[in-house]
A and B are shown apart, each in its own frame.
Chain A
């Protein structure tokens, strides 16, 4: 089965609000996690990553939280903009296969004006 998965397939957010996208993983050996954004007709685009020795990492308008106890990570997008509308995937790999990513099914985020 899949190593990672997302809780909700869709998320509708009002422009300007914060978005929270959740992801659960099952492989306790996973040591590296990435969030990707995929716009229609395009390949995944890197957003932010986090290693298992951290529990929080911040980027520009985005924050990733990792809870290893419950094998859960989330992506928070501050002040969501129309350009944030896309499908968001979490992905992970283990140190032994650090070239092979396992992707979840994705959450489609729609930003309402």
Chain B
């Protein structure tokens, strides 16, 4: 049973370009969460999605950022017109239920976004 898969592992973009980060949850998990980690800091909640629904996007910037979790395929975190401040590690987690329960919540290895 593969874990949470994120790709790409590293993504380099120039200012103004678009970044698309993908997350495939663990098999059987229908709840996906995105977190952002700045250097020397803990993870910050961005958005919580179920299949075809955004449940809570309170941690996601209102502009340039969007997330989706379609019926088929991975969850996508999309950042339009990236700026240097978007440089961070973006982690995806999944769970079988809509709860951040320790042993049932699994994190991917993250995508490191670097904006030049």
Contacts and interface: CB of A to CB of B under 8 A. Distances in A.
A99 B42 contact: no
Interface stretch (A12-20, A42-50, A73-81): A42-50
Interface in B93-116: 93, 95, 98-103, 105-110
A75 B102 CA distance: 15
Interface residues of B, number: 29
B56 A100 contact: yes
Given A41-B109, A99-B31, A89 B100 contact: no
State the 6 A-B residue pairs at the shortest beta-carbon distance, nearest first.
A103-B42, A43-B107, A49-B102, A103-B43, A34-B102, A46-B102
Nearest to B97: A99
Contacts of A99: 31, 33, 48, 55-56, 95, 98-100
Given A4-B42, A98-B99, 13 more contacts: A41-B110, A43-B93, A45-B107, A46-B105, A49-B101, A49-B103, A97-B56, A99-B99, A100-B45, A101-B35, A102-B45, A103-B44, A104-B42
Interface residues of A, number: 26
Contacts of A46: 102-103, 105-106
B45 A106 contact: no
Pick the most buried of A45, A46, A49, A100: most chain B CB atoms within 10 A of its CB.
A100
Contact of A44 (B59, B103, B107): B107
Interface of B: 4, 31, 33, 35, 40-45, 48, 55-56, 59, 91, 93, 95, 98-103, 105-110
A106 B99 CA distance: 22
B42 A2 contact: yes
Nearest to B48: A99
Interface in A52-80: none
A46 B93 CA distance: 12
Contacts of B41: 105-106
